[in-house]
């Protein structure tokens, strides 16, 4: 079990570069097994989820190598095999192997995926899509069996609710299916566009990614000719924007796609943060006299559910009460009791999180219940006086590229230790 040790109270300054998008990467790696050639990704974040996905690839005789942000995957010798349940259960995005394996072999067997426990996230829309494409679906003792002995065929799929996961899984299954598939009420997130770009560059025929209707004409082969550079992580960027506004004396954030962050940066500007937004970077000056705001999470291009928790510590500095209503995951409140231990005036009732002005946070021993809760606690720990110990820090490392190195370059005092107190870089 890893712990993050934070000596709080330092003002931060300098520059930080955002890594590739986690939510793109965890879909692109399963997508790579649809290729008939080796695949190369650039700007891959160095996070635990990537290493867990590489373990899953290895179980299928898919060789992968990760060095300095470049991930090479060779699926040309892929074999059907039982996937390692431990790795599958460690991250929810492993469910993308359902669509990828179904598209490649016309069958798949997976244990139910794990990942963050942030409330119900059923996969019924995924299974509905697979059935529409011609697969039979059965569930037994936590395991899903998918089978399409006669192959997959194009179909019209209407998602009952906007779901990023179901949109991606339907795309992965349909891209090599026979005929044309139309996905309606599709999610519009930038990571879906990134996936479609990767697949199209290999010969796929996907149109409409980024709109609510995606049209896919199946192809017989996918062949990678070029390195695919993963888009910048808008959630990591938003986390550092909040951090910089909360306790920065001037921080420049590089490798940002401002269009992906408009719902978030507009709230920061509403709070009184004088962001200086350029084409691919954002400068955050020292911020004072912040105003409270009301946030409601929505599917993209609305305010991202993954950014409500990282914004919370900044909200505690505002002169008044701020509120958050998470319409995506209303039970995403694991951070609240932990922030209360640090002295933050925050509570949840009737589906709303209320953050009151808090003069000073103090260090405490807390637990990161999931990735974004961990990000919130990290920012709070840096703001607090004294030492903060965050247990279950592996959850933070699952989603944030080289976070300790990046924070310390901004003059923070952060380290990671395991149970035997051996420091980890």
- Check residue 90 and give its pLDDT: 67
| 321/275 same-domain check | yes
Residues 12 and 114 in one domain: no
pLDDT the model gives residue 419: 67
> Do 220 and 129 have their domain in common?
yes
Peptide bond into 301 cis (omega under 30): yes
* Number of domains the chain contains: 2
- Please state, rounded to an integer, the average pLDDT across all residues of the chain: 94
End-to-end alpha carbon distance in the chain: 15
Pairing of strands 12-17, 248-254: parallel
Q: What are 243-275's pLDDT values in tens digits?
A: 999 999 999 999 999 999 999 999 999 999 999
Residues 237 and 224 in one domain: no
Rounded distance between C-alpha atoms, residue 273 and residue 291, angstroms:
9
Residue 13 sits in the same domain as residue 48: no
Same domain, 37 and 144: yes
Is 123 annotated for ligand binding?
yes
Say yes or no: 210 and 325 in one domain.
Answer: no
> 306 labelled as ligand-binding?
yes
Is 124 assigned to a binding site? Answer: yes
Rounded-to-integer distance, Cα 386 and Cα 249, Å? 20
Domain boundary among 188, 208, 229: 229
* Backbone angles phi and psi of 300, in degrees to 5: -55, 135
- How does residue 118 score in pLDDT terms, banded at 50, 70 and 90? very low
121 carries a ligand binding annotation: yes
CB crowding 68-77: b at 16 or more within 10 Å, else e: ebebebbbee
8 and 77 in a single domain? The answer is no
- The C-alpha atoms of residue 155 and residue 265 are separated, in whole angstroms, by 39
Q: Which of 214, 229, 244 is the endpoint of a domain? A: 229
Two tokens, residue 324: 């958050």
- What's the whole-number mean pLDDT along residues 40-49? 96
The CATH number for 260's domain is 3.65.10.10
Check whether residue 244 and residue 214 sit in a common domain. no
In a 13 Å sphere around the CA of 30, the CA atoms on its Cβ side amount to 29
Q: Are residues 203 and 64 in the same domain?
A: yes
Q: In whole angstroms, how far apart are CA 387 and each of 362, 390, 404, 410?
A: 8, 10, 16, 18
Percentage of the chain beyond pLDDT 90 is 87
Better-predicted residue by pLDDT, 277 or 351: 277
**pLDDT of res. 282:** 98
User: Is residue 125 a known part of a binding site?
Assistant: yes
Query: 116 an active-site residue?
Result: yes
Q: Which domain holds residue 374?
A: 3-19+232-424
**117 band by pLDDT with thresholds 50, 70 and 90:** very low
Q: Based on the domain organization, do 169 and 267 belong to the same domain?
A: no
Which of the residues 46, 49, 74, 116 is marked catalytic?
Answer: 116
The 3-7 sheet, strands edge to edge: 365-367, 387-391, 3-7, 414-417, 423-424
Are residues 114 and 214 located together in one domain of the fold?
yes
User: Does the annotation place 22 within a ligand binding site?
Assistant: yes
267 is in an annotated binding site: no
Of 229, 244, 263, which residue constitutes the final position of a domain?
A: 229
The per-residue pLDDT for range 374-402, each reduced to its tens digit, is: 999 999 999 999 999 999 999 999 999 99
The predicted-structure confidence for 164-221, as pLDDT tens digits, reads as follows 999 999 999 999 999 999 999 999 999 999 999 999 999 999 999 999 999 999 999 9
Q: Kind and range of the H or E element at 17?
A: strand 12-17
Helix axes 234-247, 308-315, angle to 10 degrees: 10
């Amino acid at each position: 079990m890893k712990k993050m040790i934070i000596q709080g109270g330092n003002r931060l300054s300098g520059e930080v570069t955002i890594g590739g998008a986690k939510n793109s990467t965890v879909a692109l790696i399963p997508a790579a097994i649809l290729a008939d050639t080796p695949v190369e990704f650039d700007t891959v974040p160095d996070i635990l989820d990537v290493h867990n996905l590489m373990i899953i690839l290895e179980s299928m005789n898919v060789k992968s190598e990760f060095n300095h942000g470049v991930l090479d995957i060779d699926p040309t010798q892929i074999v059907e095999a039982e996937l390692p349940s431990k790795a599958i259960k460690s991250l929810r995005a492993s469910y993308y192997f359902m669509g990828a394996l179904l598209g490649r072999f016309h069958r798949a067997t997976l244990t139910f995926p794990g990942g963050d426990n942030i409330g119900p996230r059923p996969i019924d829309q995924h299974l509905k899509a697979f059935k529409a494409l011609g697969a039979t679906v059965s569930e037994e003792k936590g395991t899903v069996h998918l089978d399409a002995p006669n192959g997959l065929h194009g179909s019209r799929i209407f998602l009952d609710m906007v779901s990023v996961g179901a949109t991606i899984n339907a795309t992965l299954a349909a891209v090599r299916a026979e005929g044309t598939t139309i996905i309606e009420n599709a999610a519009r997130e930038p990571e879906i566009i990134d996936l479609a770009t990767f697949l199209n560059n290999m010969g796929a025929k996907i149109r409409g990614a980024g709109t609510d209707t995606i049209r896919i004409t199946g192809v017989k082969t996918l062949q990678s000719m070029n390195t695919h550079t993963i888009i910048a992580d808008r959630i990591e960027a938003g986390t550092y924007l909040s951090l910089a506004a909360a306790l920065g004396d001037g921080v420049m954030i590089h490798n940002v796609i401002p269009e992906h962050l408009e719902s978030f940066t507009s709230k920061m500007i509403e709070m009184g943060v004088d962001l200086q937004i350029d084409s691919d970077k954002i400068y955050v000056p020292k911020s004072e006299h912040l105003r409270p705001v009301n946030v409601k999470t929505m599917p993209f291009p609305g305010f991202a559910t993954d950014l409500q928790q990282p914004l919370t510590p900044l909200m505690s500095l505002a002169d008044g009460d701020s509120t958050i209503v998470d319409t995506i995951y209303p039970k995403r409140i694991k951070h609240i009791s932990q922030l209360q231990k640090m002295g933050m005036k925050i509570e949840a009732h009737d589906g709303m999180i209320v953050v009151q002005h808090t003069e000073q946070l103090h260090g405490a021993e807390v637990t990161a219940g999931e990735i974004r809760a961990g990000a919130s606690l990290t920012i709070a720990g840096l703001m607090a006086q004294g030492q903060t110990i965050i247990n279950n820090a592996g959850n933070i490392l699952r989603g944030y590229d080289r976070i300790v190195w990046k924070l310390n370059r901004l003059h923070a005092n952060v380290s990671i230790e395991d149970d035997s107190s051996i420091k980890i870089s």
